[in-house]
Amino acid sequence: MAAGRKSRENRNQEFLDHKKKKRWVDEKSGNYCFMIYPRSLYITWGQREYWDWKCFKETSDENIEVIKLSHICWLDIRGKFKMSDLSSGGIYEVVYVVKLTKAASGWELPITLKLSLPEGKVQERTLSLLEKPRGQWIELKVGTFQAREGEEGEVCFDLMEHGGHWKNGFLLQGAIIRPGN
């Protein structure tokens, strides 16, 4: 059963913008879903001296690029997406897909997750990574919103921690925009 589901999902997805994004249709809702990989996100100090860019074999058997934090004191990852590319009427959620290594350190302060919508509405919350499992990919929910027909502008999503102390051991696979509740 899982093999059949996997092959349907593989036919259902399409890489965009030189594998910087991926699009597929959610089987339940029929709405578009998107994965925004790190090369399509704004990452403060995303240069090689602070981050390592790595290839990663995704479940679709495609190689994608992920980014691993070597050391930084100011974490700021930002993404944006056109509302017009989403299925109108759909309720969406934005999540960041991340992993903390077993040796990750410097995460004593909570991170801030922020979602900004075109009409000016902002959702913001803080979250402690100390309580999260190590060594496995996890999802950090940023927020939810509804894509309205004919809506222009962009939804913006941020992950940040500006405490000024050094941190490491954080991997970013990307951000997912998908149907939510």
Are the C-beta atoms of residues 96 and 172 closer than 8 Å to each other? yes
What is the arithmetic mean of pLDDT over 102-130?
Answer: 95
Write down the number of H helices and E strands in the chain: 1, 13
pLDDT digits (tens, 9 = 90+) for 49-94: 788 888 766 666 677 788 898 888 889 999 999 999 998 888 999 9
Q: pLDDT-based confidence at 47, cuts 50/70/90?
A: low
Q: Is the dihedral of CA 109, 44, 69, 123 positive or negative?
A: positive
Residue found under tokens 């690029």: 65
Is 157 strand, coil or helix?
Answer: strand
Asked whether the predicted pLDDT for residue 9 surpasses 80, the reply is no
Mean pLDDT of all residues belonging to the chain: 87
Ranges 28-42, 45-59, 93-107: which has the least confidence: 45-59
- Gap between the Cα atoms of 26 and 33, Å rounded: 6
Residue 79 or residue 45, greater confidence: 79
Asked whether the predicted pLDDT for residue 10 surpasses 50, the reply is no
Q: Which H/E stretch holds residue 39?
A: none
| pLDDT score at 5 | 37
Q: pLDDT-based confidence at 1, cuts 50/70/90?
A: very low
Residue 116 or residue 1, greater confidence: 116
Asked whether the predicted pLDDT for residue 3 surpasses 60, the reply is no
| pLDDT score at 8 | 40
Is 11 strand, coil or helix?
Answer: helix
DSSP string across 87-114:
PTT-EEEEEEEEEEEEEEE---SPEEEE
| pLDDT score at 17 | 72
Are the C-beta atoms of residues 76 and 164 closer than 8 Å to each other? no
Residue 150 or residue 22, greater confidence: 22
Residues 6+ apart with CB under 8 A from 120: none
Residue 45 or residue 35, greater confidence: 35
pTM for the whole thing?
0.87
Of the candidates 162, 167, 156, the residue with the CA atom closest to the CA atom of residue 119: 156
